Amino acid sequence: MTVRVRMAPSPTGYLHVGTARTALFNWLFARHHGGTFIVRVDDTDLERSTAEYEEEILSSFRWLGLHWDEGIEVGGPHGTYRQSDRLDRYRSLARRLVDDGLAYYDDRSPGELDLLRTKAQGEGRHPGHYIRRPETPFEKGVIRLAIPEGHAVAFDDLIRGTVSFEPEALDDFVILRSDGTPTYHLASTVDDIDYEITHVARGEDLLPSTPKHILLTRALGGEAPVYAHLPLLLGPDGKKLSKRHGATALSDYRTSGILPEAMFNYLAILGWSLDAQTTIFSREEAVEEFDLADVSKNPSAFDPDKLVWMNGEYIRAMPEEEFSSRARPWVEEALGRALLEDEWPKFEEIAAEVQERTKLLPEVGDQVRFLFEEIDEYDPAAWSKVMEREEVPKVLEESLARLSNLKSWDPVSIESTLREIPEMLGIGAGKAFQPLRVAVTGSSVSPPLFESMAALGQHPTLARIERARQELG
């Protein structure tokens, strides 16, 4: 089977996660069938399209690993893949349809058309009943496609099965505006024909456009592609996904530290599944199994919490060296400086512990800041809760005495000498170790204490405990 699919983003806004999922399904379908994935730019809305949005969308596709075989930037047999470069093509085809008697000029004013719509409404008819080809043709105005009367338009949707639109649901829609610019219907249909698109997989919100595209394709003498309308994404509460549920821009997840492979996996399970039980799977496994026909026709919920959970699973599954190298830019970002080569081993010493506790890479910066910076300020809540208890000066003093005599500075030795303190003072381990954690890291949440001390080094650890002791007075 020949497969040529396309994504056709309009660069009038950031890439929505729903559109990213549509792109992913198109890509998977192309890869599964050894087909061609095409990206073209639908920028006929010249006023709202910007180069920044275009770059944001394309770079998000690349970040997700959805590389395209043909299209914008990469080129291909069809020359340009940008609609604004093809305006003459759309115009000449619209005029050809007029010459063939399949479309007509219409210069009725919006007011006149409104009256016809109201009239139709009053009679319980679809506006298409009146918005029809006028008796005497005009020479200018918009160009409308003349819908063949009395025929339903039906097609087999790969996901939804047979879909049929009654004739009353279709009016003679505009294909070319009076300023000579094509509507979405014309430009999109012409491109799909010219680029020999075999399957159009797109959001269900575009379903009402599809009968129009089928009629237009027929009028242009083309062969309609197979359509697949993907169900919409909802928020976790079952309502239409919106900013109330969290970010809807793919790039916001990217900057919050979601890994591209986790995003890929998560988008893939929104309406599709590898099998009955596997949630986490690789790109290759998805390519192997994917089919548009297996996509559910029910809407699925985009749950940012589940995405973060999945991201944590991906982080834990990484080899430790990979975790370290991918975490490093985030640590440097948090510190506001590059790390020196002899500083980095401190991180590596504690990397495994940090990896266990991380769901998003940017969290790593805060977890390990204490290794690379002096404590600027103790976390005030931690200080008042932990440090002002009466046994704390004694704990710090005992720790200093033991740790300064320690010959071998590693987590096991540190732990075994510190474990004697709670016993000796007759207090719980938590009471003994929490003050040390605040003294050494500045906060009550950090990687495990003994590993943290080991990574920081003996001298700096002693200096910090000493400093906390002095702060207590």
Closest distance of CB 191 from ligand GLU, Å: 9
Footprint on residues 15-54 left by ligand GLU (CB under 6 A)? 42
Closest distance of CB 202 from ligand GLU, Å: 4
From the DSSP assignment, how many helices (H) and strands (E) are in the chain? 20, 12
Cα–Cα distances in angstroms (integers) from residue 203 to residues 17, 22, 26, in the given order: 12, 7, 11
Closest distance of CB 210 from ligand GLU, Å: 9
Of the pair 53, 330, the CB lying nearest ligand GLU is at 53
Contacts of 409 (CB under 8 A, 6+ apart): 454, 457, 458
Q: Is 106 in the site for ligand GLU (CB under 6 A)?
A: no
Determine the Cα–Cα distance for residues 281 and 274; give it in Å rounded to an integer.
8
Determine the distance from the C-alpha atom of residue 275 to the mean position of all C-alpha atoms in its chain, rounded to a whole number. 23
Query: Residue 227: beta bridge partners?
Result: 157, 200
Closest distance of CB 94 from ligand GLU, Å: 18
Single residue of 3, 4, 5, 9 touching ligand GLU by CB under 6 A: 9
Closest distance of CB 200 from ligand GLU, Å: 6
Of the pair 207, 463, the CB lying nearest ligand GLU is at 207
Binding mask 377-416 for ligand GLU (x = CB under 6 A): ----------------------------------------
- Name the residue whose CB lies closest to ligand GLU: 42
Contacts of 319 (CB under 8 A, 6+ apart): none
Determine the Cα–Cα distance for residues 427 and 449; give it in Å rounded to an integer.
18
The residue range among 6-14, 45-53, 120-128, 401-409 that interacts with ligand GLU, by the rule CB under 6 A, is 6-14
CA torsion, points 184, 186, 189, 193, in degrees to nearest 10? Answer: -140
Footprint on residues 190-209 left by ligand GLU (CB under 6 A)? 202, 206
The residue range among 5-13, 62-70, 92-100, 247-255 that interacts with ligand GLU, by the rule CB under 6 A, is 5-13
Please identify every residue annotated as catalytic: 243
Determine the Cα–Cα distance for residues 429 and 125; give it in Å rounded to an integer.
79
Are the C-beta atoms of 43 and 11 separated by less than 8 Å?
Answer: yes
Determine the Cα–Cα distance for residues 6 and 194; give it in Å rounded to an integer.
12
Q: Is 10 in the site for ligand GLU (CB under 6 A)?
A: yes
Binding residues for ligand GLU, rule: CB under 6 A, are 8-10, 42, 188, 202, 206
